[in-house]
């Protein structure tokens, strides 16, 4: 009896035989990728200043908060955000820049995933998570996470209700193709999981009323340094 | 394909009539489609290279279809290399059996599930139910529909037929929450708390997939609520079902489709979450990943040279929102998980020519062409509709459907004859002008006699004018 794989491949070959003229060769052959026109934009025409302005505007469109700060102000800025949002327990990923962290006196307890992975319950019961990112895309207001240093595994930015994300200006690209281009080596060599985050989670399932925050973090605060 | 709860499907024109009488449904649908149409126009309008992206999307998909066998083998190899397991399923039963076995091997009786039309197509939830496995839908609308024991009514907002107080009552009853208002934010919060517990304890997640990259083995799930992130991150085992047409060749191709899809689908610049994973990652997410490659009729679509472009579809639903027929009848009338214009060409091809209800779907269109205009991968839906009508007629002929006295094919033959000869054509016009006098009422024909009556059953006809263009042209000189 034939298995499903053979059945499907046979069906495809007989469906295409007329066009391809001959029996397609099955293995050891790279599929041809010739002749695809790619006339769309692959590089942004915006200057860095314009890119940043656009990114801030687009992130705000998603009802996320955006703040600009100098790097040395970060501990205070983050402590202030935590105070306003009543964050007592802040999750931090391995490899986070310690110069960003709020002072002990701020009353925010840091829960690190560094020395041993936190349990699901510990992450679930925290108030917020602080991370960096891999890239940000101005055109769509998107943050790209790859699980690298300062970003952590995917759960860390999923279970807490509030995500504070620090974006460096040199991480902001103009358009989507630039982000995929930069991700290419990471996928090929390290096969990292990638998450695109564009605003807080949302639903319009009840009478088309948009509600920010369903299963992912309900609030997102982007700090640009 | 539609779930077992649906009554025996009838031809589209019969069921459509029932839904047309539902004023509330029409109001809701009109509101939903209008809103999303306008939003889409805005976000598509701000893209300077939209047409170039569409063209690249079309070409990439065409390339995939012409080399589908090779891309599938390449995908299998990449996924295995990345630590995943690949299964092949030639039909729905095959896929359901594979998935049920994987779950049973783990000794589990509940799985968390991300909204996926492909799993609806194969009736996965019902099949798992028969094996004693509960598939919990985690998309808010799907959860509402599942709790109510109902059917989705819209591909975008499946619970559009339920208003907020109905949902509140449902949650009060099923979730046992006494103090619950009917504010959408509060209802969403109730669902969040209920499902959070389920997510944290889930051992197995089941998902569909929007795309899979042959070259790297990367799979993506595109979503808004975060339930997709939960289902693809928290459980230790992840099972994803992929229609074989959803392959794209390279990672780079995402730059095309991840721009086309969100703007066409939810009319956003980008939807809140996109989850890309490549096999398994140590210490992050599921440690076991199964990819089920599903045919279930897709290879028959591939065998039709004209119809094959249907497989380019990325399930954005833009064509539904611009369709004048869909806007009035809604999704249920199509008797398929794929409603609207794309459903009208996909369903009959997947189910084959002997399914009477599906065979009526190519006629559920005025051929206005709006669907072709918005399609992000430029599927020429009107052309395929006409092609399928033609195919359907030829099939009926072979089955001896026209053996009795049928006037329509005869008239069609006569018309074809007349259209080829000017004199005959003009004479026919004159004869018809006299003949129609009996039927013109207030400038329109709304009822024709005998077998011709089916022409006017659904629409009014304009009479042939007293002076045709040709006649007027002659009087000019």
B398-408 pLDDT, tens digit per residue, is: 877 666 666 77
Q: Across the interface, do B48 and A15 touch by the CB < 8 Å criterion?
A: no
Percent of chain A with pLDDT over 70: 92
Of B74, B199, B272, the CB nearest to A202: B272
CA distance B9 to chain A (A): 27
Residue B53 pLDDT grade (very low, low, confident, very high; cuts 50, 70, 90): very high
Q: What is the pLDDT of residue B5?
A: 39
Q: Is A10's pLDDT higher than 70?
A: yes
Q: Which residues is B445 bridged to in the sheet?
A: B440, B461
Q: What is the pLDDT of residue A102?
A: 94
Structural domain spans, chain B: 47-294, 407-476
Of B63, B66, B276, the CB nearest to A16: B66
Q: Where are the beta strands (DSSP E) in B92-151?
A: 110-113, 134-137
Q: What is the pLDDT of residue B79?
A: 98
Assembly ipTM: 0.94
- The alpha helices in B376-458, defined as continuous H runs, are 381-398, 407-420, 422-435, 453-457
- The alpha helices in B67-176, defined as continuous H runs, are 68-81, 92-105, 117-121, 124-130, 140-147, 164-175
pLDDT in tens, B282-330: 999 999 999 999 999 999 999 999 999 999 999 999 999 999 999 998 8
* Per-chain mean pLDDT for chain A: 91
Give CATH for domain B47-294. Answer: 3.40.50.10420
Cα dihedral sign, A7-A12-A14-A15: positive
Q: What is the pLDDT of residue B432?
A: 86
The answer to whether B12 and B334 are in contact (CB under 8 A) is yes
pLDDT in tens, B229-252: 999 999 999 999 999 999 999 999
Q: Does B118 or B27 have the greater pLDDT score?
A: B118
* Residue B35 burial class via C-beta count within 10 angstroms: exposed 0-12, middle 13-18, buried 19 and up: middle
Backbone angles phi, psi at A194, to 5 degrees: -125, 135
Q: What is the pLDDT of residue B255?
A: 97
* H or E stretch at B204: strand B204-207
CA distance A72 to chain B (A): 30
The answer to whether A152 and A111 are in contact (CB under 8 A) is no
* Residue B440 burial class via C-beta count within 10 angstroms: exposed 0-12, middle 13-18, buried 19 and up: middle
Q: What is the pLDDT of residue A2?
A: 64
Q: Is B258's pLDDT higher than 60?
A: yes
Residue A27 pLDDT grade (very low, low, confident, very high; cuts 50, 70, 90): very low
* Per-chain mean pLDDT for chain B: 91
Q: Which residues of A touch B72 (CB under 8 A)?
A: 8-9, 12
* H or E stretch at A145: strand A142-145
In A, minimum Cα distance to B62 occurs at A36
Q: Which residues of A touch B250 (CB under 8 A)?
A: 33
Lowest mean pLDDT among B95-104, B162-171, B267-276, B314-323: B162-171
Q: What is the pLDDT of residue A112?
A: 96
CA distance A224 to chain B (A): 19
CATH topology of domain A48-224: Rossmann fold (3.40.50)
pLDDT in tens, B68-101: 999 999 999 999 999 999 999 999 999 999 999 9
Backbone angle region of B443, left / alpha / beta, with phi > 0 → left and psi within -120 to 50 → alpha: left
The first and second tokens of residue A56, run together, are 């801030």
Q: Is B2's pLDDT higher than 60?
A: no
d(C-alpha B89, C-alpha B69), whole Å: 14
How far from the centroid of its chain's Cα atoms is residue A72's Cα?
Answer: 25
Among B368, B234, B311, B251, smallest CA distance to B61 is for B311
Residue B3 pLDDT grade (very low, low, confident, very high; cuts 50, 70, 90): very low
Of A38, A141, A193, the CB nearest to B281: A193
Q: What angle do CA B143, B149, B155 make, to 5 degrees?
A: 55
Q: What is the pLDDT of residue A26?
A: 45
Q: Is A28's pLDDT higher than 60?
A: no
Q: Across the interface, do A180 and B254 touch by the CB < 8 Å criterion?
A: yes
Lowest mean pLDDT among A17-21, B213-217, B301-305, B338-342: A17-21
Percent of chain B with pLDDT over 90: 65
d(C-alpha B230, C-alpha B225), whole Å: 10
- How far is residue A151 from each of residues A134, A185, A194, measured CA to CA in Å? 8, 18, 11
pLDDT average, residue stretch B153-160 = 74
Q: Which residues of B touch A63 (CB under 8 A)?
A: none
Q: What is the pLDDT of residue B405?
A: 61
Interface test with B, best of A113, A214, A219, A220 (most B CBs within 10 A): A214
Q: Is B22's pLDDT higher than 80?
A: yes
Q: What is the pLDDT of residue B1?
A: 38
d(C-alpha B284, C-alpha B306), whole Å: 44
Q: What is the pLDDT of residue A25?
A: 47
Q: Is B184's pLDDT higher than 70?
A: yes
pLDDT in tens, A64-82: 999 999 999 999 999 999 9
Q: How many CB atoms lie within 10 A of CB B273?
A: 25
In Å, the largest CA–CA distance within chain B is 87
Percent of chain B with pLDDT over 70: 96
pLDDT average, residue stretch B105-118 = 95
Lowest mean pLDDT among A15-19, B108-112, B172-176, B188-192: A15-19
Q: Which residues of B touch A206 (CB under 8 A)?
A: 140, 159, 164, 167, 184, 187-188
pLDDT in tens, A144-191: 999 989 999 999 999 999 999 999 999 999 999 999 999 999 999 999
Interface test with B, best of A206, A209, A212, A218 (most B CBs within 10 A): A206
In A, minimum Cα distance to B58 occurs at A36
Lowest mean pLDDT among A194-203, A208-217, B68-77: A208-217
Q: Is B163's pLDDT higher than 90?
A: no
Among B411, B420, B418, B364, smallest CA distance to B392 is for B364
Of B56, B94, B259, the CB nearest to A176: B259
pLDDT average, residue stretch B454-476 = 84
Structural domain spans, chain A: 48-224
CA distance A4 to chain B (A): 5
Q: Does A23 or B42 have the greater pLDDT score?
A: B42
């Amino acid at each position: 009896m034939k298995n499903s794989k053979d059945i499907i491949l046979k069906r495809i070959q007989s469906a295409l035989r007329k066009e391809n003229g001959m029996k397609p060769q099955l293995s050891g052959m790279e599929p041809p990728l010739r002749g695809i026109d790619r006339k769309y934009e692959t590089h942004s025409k915006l200057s860095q200043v314009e890119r940043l302005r656009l990114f801030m505007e687009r992130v705000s469109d998603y009802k996320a908060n955006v703040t600009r700060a100098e790097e040395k102000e970060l501990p205070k800025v983050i402590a202030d955000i935590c105070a306003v949002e009543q964050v007592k327990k802040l999750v931090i990923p391995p490899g986070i820049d310690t110069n960003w962290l709020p002072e002990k006196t701020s009353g925010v307890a840091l829960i690190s995933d560094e020395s041993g992975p936190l349990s699901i319950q510990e992450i679930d019961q925290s108030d917020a998570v602080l991370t960096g990112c891999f890239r940000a895309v101005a055109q769509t207001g998107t943050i790209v996470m790859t699980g690298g240093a300062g970003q952590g595994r995917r759960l860390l930015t999923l279970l807490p209700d509030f995500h504070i994300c620090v974006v460096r200006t040199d991480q902001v690209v103009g358009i989507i193709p630039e982000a995929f281009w930069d991700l290419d080596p990471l996928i090929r060599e390290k096969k990292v999981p990638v998450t695109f985050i564009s605003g807080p989670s949302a639903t319009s399932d009840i009478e088309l009323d948009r509600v920010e925050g369903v299963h992912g973090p309900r609030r997102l605060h982007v700090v640009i340094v | 394909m539609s779930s077992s709860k649906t009554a025996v499907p009838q031809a589209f024109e019969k069921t459509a009539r029932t839904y047309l009488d539902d004023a509330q449904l029409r109001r809701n649908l009109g509101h939903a489609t209008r809103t999303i149409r306008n939003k889409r126009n805005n976000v598509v309008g701000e893209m300077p290279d939209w047409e170039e992206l569409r063209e690249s999307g079309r070409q990439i998909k065409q390339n995939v279809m012409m080399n589908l066998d090779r891309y599938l083998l390449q995908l299998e190899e990449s996924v295995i290399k990345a630590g995943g397991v690949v299964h092949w399923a030639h039909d729905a039963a095959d896929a359901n059996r594979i998935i049920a076995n994987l779950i049973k091997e783990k000794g589990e009786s509940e799985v968390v599930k991300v909204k996926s039309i492909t799993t609806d197509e194969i009736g996965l939830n019902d099949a798992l139910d028969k094996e004693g496995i509960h598939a919990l839908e985690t998309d808010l609308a799907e959860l509402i529909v599942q709790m109510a024991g109902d059917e989705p009514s819209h591909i975008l907002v499946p619970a559009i037929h339920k208003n907020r107080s109905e949902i509140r009552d449902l949650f009060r009853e099923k979730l046992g929450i006494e103090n619950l208002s009917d504010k959408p934010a509060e209802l969403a919060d109730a669902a969040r708390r209920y499902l959070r517990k389920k997510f944290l304890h889930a051992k197995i997640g089941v998902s569909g997939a929007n795309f899979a990259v042959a070259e790297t083995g990367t799979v993506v799930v595109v979503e808004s609520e975060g339930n997709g992130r939960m289902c693809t991150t928290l459980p230790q085992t992840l099972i994803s079902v992929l229609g074989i047409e959803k392959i794209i060749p390279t990672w780079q191709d995402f730059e095309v489709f991840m721009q086309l899809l969100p703007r066409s689908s939810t009319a956003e610049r980008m939807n809140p979450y996109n989850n890309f994973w490549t096999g398994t990652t140590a210490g992050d997410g599921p440690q076991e990943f199964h990819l089920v490659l599903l045919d279930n009729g897709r290879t028959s679509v591939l065998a039709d040279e004209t119809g094959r472009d249907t497989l380019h579809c990325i399930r954005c639903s833009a064509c539904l929102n611009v369709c004048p027929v869909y806007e009035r009848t809604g999704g249920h009338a199509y008797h398929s998980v794929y409603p609207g214009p794309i459903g009208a060409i996909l369903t009959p091809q997947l189910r084959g020519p002997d399914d009477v209800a599906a065979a009526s779907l190519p006629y559920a269109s005025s051929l206005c062409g709006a669907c072709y205009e918005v399609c992000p991968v430029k599927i020429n839906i009107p052309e395929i509709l006409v092609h399928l009508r033609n195919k359907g007629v030829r099939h009926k002929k072979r089955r001896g459907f026209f053996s009795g006295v049928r006037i329509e094919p005869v008239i069609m033959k006569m018309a074809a004859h007349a259209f080829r000869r000017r004199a005959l054509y003009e004479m026919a016009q004159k004869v018809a002008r006299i003949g129609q006098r009996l039927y013109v009422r207030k400038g329109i024909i709304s009822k024709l006699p005998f077998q011709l009556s089916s022409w006017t059953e659904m629409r009014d006809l304009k009479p042939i004018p007293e002076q045709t263009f040709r006649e007027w042209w002659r009087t000019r000189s």
